[in-house]
Structure 1
């Protein structure tokens, strides 16, 4: 089995002694002979993204995955928010070994509750190790200079901890990886004993291409995006350096590549003579075998692949001059769709001048389309290229390729594009076995290299093609499975970097997740308990960067964009917090007040975590049955605190602002400002209204004691049993177990959402109680509706299966 595949497969499964030597950073322990180094910035999030990526999930069917699932057993039990380094190297027996390096903390390796685990102490002359065996797989480990170091065998561990001097070249490269990258991969080609393809059809191999690859990998549900650099220190032996002193030009081969082809290779340059000299140095020749004027005005050369046939393409800046260079090859063979096809008498010319990029030696015919000169031995392929160009059925005309173009550069020194067949071949080559899974949806995969002084930028996109949504339809954007069942309703939160929306959700083990609107788990954080109610967002530094603020039964948290605690939070409480955290911003000036409810008592803090001394209200006569609320009418602020038997309407200081003339037996529903009055319900379902003078009224609106209401300033929605009332219209729905209805006001339109939790159906209505087209749809919780990205379509998030969230788009 090819060793370079181990690092690709092992990341799918990531899902004691002291010395005087002062090595403090994990990177100081990178083995000198490491071939692959993985830097994981968030291990838990990476596990989730690996488990949810469509392409990587498919690999679980392969023998490589099944074999390595046991090997990786110890690694998948790590629990840390620090960077983790995974290093892979061949030992003296040419067997691949790995080490895992990260900062040590007591809960790093939680294995006590696992079955079939064996922990031993192993002593040698110089060290004492911990030997951990899980599922018959072993990890040897030590703690050295506050760094945890584990390895797949004892010899490799000793080699790792006895490094005399860190490999500064590797350390410097790794330190240059993106700070926000969840996974960075460093390929040390100086130690690589096998050939890794650099493009999907590459025959030159990685060893001849460059010395190092440093790649940041972005895993999303249907996509894999790779950005990084490749660096070659030897200017004569590395193929990437043939582009030295050339400037990348626009890659245009997609304009004439048929959509039904297997793909194309394109390489560009601003001066052919410079490229020619660099290729001579690479081949260690005084000159290339053929001299010709044909390439003098060419800025792009490439190959179109179609089954067993190929076509070489030249893209010329000066069509006339290039055509003149072909003057001795103007014997017309035939005309297809008014395009002449000529014979060509130098079939090996391109191989002689552009090997190893072009290995085709059978170019006996050619045709001309715009500025493109296309050479092939296959009349059928030339005809296909002509027809595709005329019919606008080229790769560039396809939406799936258009989607990829936004993730790559227009100008690349070297670019390869492949269809699903090429991707399948690429995977099979590197795992050493045939794959049985379907890759038909992966219609286009791209790899680019952009030369820049002494290194090259690398971009790669492996993207699952998406079917274009039908207008007025509901489409599923993604379904994301978590490791555990979901505890609460997924909700949207604003991403201050993109101005779109992300998703936050908690599982039954009290892990909080932040998930991008494309289905990527950005981070996972262990909390002390369940989040109460909705998560709020604040801008406590008044700089446009938003934090998440919320309460659990014994904590008040404020988390930054990366899931880190913001000092002095979390605040800890001995007595239970009984209602969700209320956040007030009276004047919209970001001077926040955080209200914590504990039974009958209310505590008010500012956003620095300090008690607000001017708030005098301390406790109610009875248990508060809804979180405190803030409503502003005109220039006056009203704080509402409700118990089962009394509604307190207070001013900012906590003093009574409105004295009610009557009180009722109140439900636990919120208080709304509806038609200029404070509005809520009684326990028996009556609608209670209160004006600012304290006058009250009770109205029977035919609700039972099991009911919910919600409201805007002009629209009241009520639900009781199978009846849903929107304004004055009542809908009789199927009997079921209904969630609380929610109102959304988006783009000057009101939407009312409700979910039957029994039949798992989501309903959406407008303000006239008319169902929105194509509803109901499947869902297992309340929804949250919003426009979460740059298009005009609305999206909504809900719970799917017990451990999954669903994101839908309304087209």
Structure 2
């Protein structure tokens, strides 16, 4: 209804009255054609709650509220502790008018002492009526027996005195109002001015849904809870579709991604009976399709995701429903081991379930346990599959569980909205949209439960509270590229926002920079595959970061926009055999770029010039890991490792430490672990050297194909299915594991490992305890960090062969 929310909340704050009168029925004086009726029972308690509710405070800041407040300004002078009826009508010129009915008390409307006031009186039908003007606002009021009746319209007040309200439907449903609630709202949809829609789907206007709705309200600092009933006297109203059906349990939240805009679910115990109601509601020329698809279905729903939608069927007998789809078995693709089929009847659901469903583009479908999902895009279907497998659906979220406390388990119709959808629903019922701050209202719900010849109604708009121990994992974005990925995604820093972005390369050697919201910022064709990880440098010492890396025959420096920084790329005739090493000895951005070619190391500065004076003449064997730099005290150590030798040099390439003992080294990095240079041997032993070159060996019982990663105090090793974190060894399921990653973030250590065979990502803490809600789906080692500077950590991994997934740990 036009201006409904603003009128409602302003009116609540202004008045109060008592309708419990043994001699006079206040409802007799309700003006005919009242669109909205508000019964306030406890004004003072309500005022306190209203003032502390963020959502209502936002609504009060809107232009619509301010305009209406001027019209209703006289009513703020009412002083009473009794209950109150507020009636809202529209006159013949489509102007809002109000009426107030309350118990007469001394000084109820004592305005004589106000400045700029004019009071006139006249007789109407032997009744004295006062016209009170305070500045520009006019109110007409009178007393009938023990009642005070006032209105903004002379005609409306006189009609109320002449004609007793005969709307028995309105009076009957008003009797169900709970006197113990702060206030109740009665919406009369028999009038042309009403709420436009309370549904995500605009094709269900509220005036076609029901006739009368009575809602008892509880408002507190964090929630608006509305409970009541609705009744349709007209058989053509949508709510009567559920007549002669028994509400079933709504389980659509179990498959709705938590990143969806919301969903609508409706249930029935018998499709044949429900179809009869549908046929009775539609016109004779409506299209019906005979199908056995819905015979075992008890719940149908719509998931909303931007401009895309998905139709969900929940079946009691999935095998029978699959049999009904035997003619729809054309596989389009396989996603995460689930078939995506083409569907040849895209208008089936609109033809069958309108006006509840008007979706005519269901071109794809998949069967997921007891659910059958039909969508207009494969991406939407893939998102649903991914979130279902990862258990990142609405039903897994604490904020959804919180609103379920105010809902019944079974319902005829359920609508759940995320913050942006809630904002849209509220604003489409206002003349002037408001920039409502609803981000903390993670899930809101509207529920109808049909019972005999009426339906119960529950509405929940509740602020979500973050729980520190929730630790849920949310799949935020899936970024699909045109070509399969060549490298694992890596995080780099955006020097403008200080947030993290993603770099990744595809098999055509295109390098991508992708924002943390999934937007591809640029794509650059490279002359070869990137070797190892990309480094970031500030070559001009101005805070702007560049990407530095090597391919087989080039060293690149790229700026923020993916452009080459002169004189790069440097071209090399001989192959570069290890990733680019970048050293900043004194943390003064005087970078050294080390290029490895077989047995040799070339040294350049950040401007691509050869650094003279580096005397290392090459190793006896092929270098098996990129050169590394360590600082111990005031001394620098450069390490170069081959299969049979370890060179520990100073800045100019001369030997600083001569390691004692002969070892066959693995291809694992060198670490500064417990103050010593530490790596592993080919046969899986841990070997360490102090700064005097003295060695020590520890048998870790690692196989030949092992991985090692450490911090200064924490060691992580993996061999086959055994993962060791500090002194604890975990036996994982047998699989094909990518190398473990160790992250030190906010004084906490995280260890991740990915089973490429089962596509599962595991995350542990430093005590080898697996974090909640892991494993999750992924196809590569992860990069973990705070990507967007909120309170939560995010990580990025490969999804399918050409996709990247960003997860958030809440």
TM tier, smaller = 0.5 to 0.7
1:692-751 deviation per Cα after TM superposition (whole angstroms, max 9, x unaligned)? xxxxxxxxxxxxxxxxxxxxxxxxxxxxxxxxxxxxxxxxxxxxxxxxxxxxxxxxxxxx
Do the aligned residues in 2 keep the contact of 1:400 with 1:466 (CA within 8 Å)? Answer: yes
Indicate how the Cα distance of structure 1 residues 124 and 162 shifts in structure 2: closer, same or farther if over 3 A, else same: closer
Partner of 1:67: 67
Partner of 2:54: 54
- Provide the aligned length of Structure 1 versus Structure 2: 464
Residue pairs, 1:159-238, within 5 angstroms: 159-164=159-164, 166-194=166-194, 196-235=196-235, 237-238=236-237
The reply on whether 1:454 has 2:453 as its aligned counterpart is yes
Indicate how the Cα distance of structure 1 residues 437 and 185 shifts in structure 2: closer, same or farther if over 3 A, else same: closer
Indicate how the Cα distance of structure 1 residues 393 and 157 shifts in structure 2: closer, same or farther if over 3 A, else same: same
Partner of 2:344: 345
The reply on whether 1:128 has 2:133 as its aligned counterpart is no
CA distance in 1, matches of 2:305, 2:265: 15
CA distance in 2, matches of 1:441, 1:212: 31
Do the aligned residues in 2 keep the contact of 1:258 with 1:384 (CA within 8 Å)? Answer: yes
Residue pairs, 1:111-510, within 5 angstroms: 111=111, 114-123=114-123, 126-164=126-164, 166-194=166-194, 196-235=196-235, 237-285=236-284, 288-469=287-468
Indicate how the Cα distance of structure 1 residues 37 and 267 shifts in structure 2: closer, same or farther if over 3 A, else same: same
The reply on whether 1:31 has 2:27 as its aligned counterpart is no
1:279-331 deviation per Cα after TM superposition (whole angstroms, max 9, x unaligned)? 00000338752110000000000100001110000000000000000011111
CA distance in 2, matches of 1:3, 1:63: 10
**Aligned-pair distance for 1:84?**
0.5
1:468-487 deviation per Cα after TM superposition (whole angstroms, max 9, x unaligned)? 2579xxxxxxxxxxxxxxxx
CA distance in 2, matches of 1:113, 1:461: 44
**Aligned-pair distance for 1:2?**
2.2
CA distance in 2, matches of 1:60, 1:246: 41
Residue pairs, 1:508-657, within 5 angstroms: none
CA distance in 1, matches of 2:326, 2:114: 77
Helix, strand or coil at the partner of 2:301: strand
Do the aligned residues in 2 keep the contact of 1:98 with 1:152 (CA within 8 Å)? Answer: yes
**Aligned-pair distance for 1:163?**
1.9
Q: Which consecutive residues of structure 1, in runs of 5 or more, have no partner in the other structure? A: 16-21, 472-811
Indicate how the Cα distance of structure 1 residues 125 and 244 shifts in structure 2: closer, same or farther if over 3 A, else same: closer
Do the aligned residues in 2 keep the contact of 1:247 with 1:269 (CA within 8 Å)? Answer: yes
Do the aligned residues in 2 keep the contact of 1:39 with 1:86 (CA within 8 Å)? Answer: yes
Residue pairs, 1:651-730, within 5 angstroms: none
Partner of 1:526: none
**Aligned-pair distance for 1:12?**
5.2
Q: CA RMSD in A?
A: 2.1
1:476-508 deviation per Cα after TM superposition (whole angstroms, max 9, x unaligned)? xxxxxxxxxxxxxxxxxxxxxxxxxxxxxxxxx
Indicate how the Cα distance of structure 1 residues 195 and 282 shifts in structure 2: closer, same or farther if over 3 A, else same: farther
Do the aligned residues in 1 keep the contact of 2:13 with 2:43 (CA within 8 Å)? Answer: no
Partner of 1:45: 45
1:510-536 deviation per Cα after TM superposition (whole angstroms, max 9, x unaligned)? xxxxxxxxxxxxxxxxxxxxxxxxxxx
CA distance in 1, matches of 2:254, 2:448: 20
CA distance in 2, matches of 1:33, 1:254: 39
CA distance in 2, matches of 1:298, 1:135: 63
CA distance in 2, matches of 1:113, 1:58: 34
**Aligned-pair distance for 1:189?**
1.4
**Aligned-pair distance for 1:53?**
1.8
**Aligned-pair distance for 1:380?**
1.0
Do the aligned residues in 2 keep the contact of 1:262 with 1:419 (CA within 8 Å)? Answer: yes
CA distance in 2, matches of 1:125, 1:179: 34
Do the aligned residues in 1 keep the contact of 2:3 with 2:64 (CA within 8 Å)? Answer: no
Do the aligned residues in 1 keep the contact of 2:59 with 2:65 (CA within 8 Å)? Answer: yes
CA distance in 2, matches of 1:287, 1:276: 13
Do the aligned residues in 2 keep the contact of 1:280 with 1:288 (CA within 8 Å)? Answer: no
CA distance in 2, matches of 1:438, 1:189: 29
**Aligned-pair distance for 1:444?**
0.9
Indicate how the Cα distance of structure 1 residues 201 and 117 shifts in structure 2: closer, same or farther if over 3 A, else same: farther
CA distance in 1, matches of 2:375, 2:55: 34
Do the aligned residues in 2 keep the contact of 1:43 with 1:79 (CA within 8 Å)? Answer: no
**Aligned-pair distance for 1:68?**
1.2
Do the aligned residues in 2 keep the contact of 1:217 with 1:227 (CA within 8 Å)? Answer: yes
TM value normalised by structure 1: 0.55
Indicate how the Cα distance of structure 1 residues 318 and 165 shifts in structure 2: closer, same or farther if over 3 A, else same: closer
1:605-630 deviation per Cα after TM superposition (whole angstroms, max 9, x unaligned)? xxxxxxxxxxxxxxxxxxxxxxxxxx
Helix, strand or coil at the partner of 1:327: coil
Partner of 1:695: none
Indicate how the Cα distance of structure 1 residues 69 and 305 shifts in structure 2: closer, same or farther if over 3 A, else same: same
Do the aligned residues in 2 keep the contact of 1:120 with 1:131 (CA within 8 Å)? Answer: yes
Indicate how the Cα distance of structure 1 residues 249 and 339 shifts in structure 2: closer, same or farther if over 3 A, else same: same
CA distance in 1, matches of 2:113, 2:381: 65
Indicate how the Cα distance of structure 1 residues 3 and 126 shifts in structure 2: closer, same or farther if over 3 A, else same: farther
**Aligned-pair distance for 1:86?**
0.5
Deviates more, 1:79-88 or 1:317-326: 79-88
Helix, strand or coil at the partner of 1:105: coil
Do the aligned residues in 2 keep the contact of 1:14 with 1:46 (CA within 8 Å)? Answer: no
1:426-450 deviation per Cα after TM superposition (whole angstroms, max 9, x unaligned)? 1221112232232211111100010
CA distance in 1, matches of 2:138, 2:23: 26
Helix, strand or coil at the partner of 1:225: strand
1:95-147 deviation per Cα after TM superposition (whole angstroms, max 9, x unaligned)? 22110001101132244565544433344574322222335222110011110
Indicate how the Cα distance of structure 1 residues 449 and 125 shifts in structure 2: closer, same or farther if over 3 A, else same: closer
Indicate how the Cα distance of structure 1 residues 224 and 114 shifts in structure 2: closer, same or farther if over 3 A, else same: farther
**Aligned-pair distance for 1:5?**
4.9
CA distance in 2, matches of 1:72, 1:470: 48
Indicate how the Cα distance of structure 1 residues 113 and 222 shifts in structure 2: closer, same or farther if over 3 A, else same: farther
Indicate how the Cα distance of structure 1 residues 287 and 5 shifts in structure 2: closer, same or farther if over 3 A, else same: same
Helix, strand or coil at the partner of 2:365: strand
1:141-187 deviation per Cα after TM superposition (whole angstroms, max 9, x unaligned)? 00111100000021111111222455433222212211212211111
CA distance in 2, matches of 1:380, 1:293: 28
Do the aligned residues in 2 keep the contact of 1:12 with 1:56 (CA within 8 Å)? Answer: no
Do the aligned residues in 2 keep the contact of 1:313 with 1:374 (CA within 8 Å)? Answer: yes
1:530-573 deviation per Cα after TM superposition (whole angstroms, max 9, x unaligned)? xxxxxxxxxxxxxxxxxxxxxxxxxxxxxxxxxxxxxxxxxxxx
CA distance in 2, matches of 1:165, 1:445: 36
Q: Which has the larger radius of gyration?
A: 2
CA distance in 2, matches of 1:272, 1:426: 30
Do the aligned residues in 2 keep the contact of 1:244 with 1:453 (CA within 8 Å)? Answer: yes
Q: Which consecutive residues of structure 2, in runs of 5 or more, have no partner in the other structure? A: 16-21, 471-810
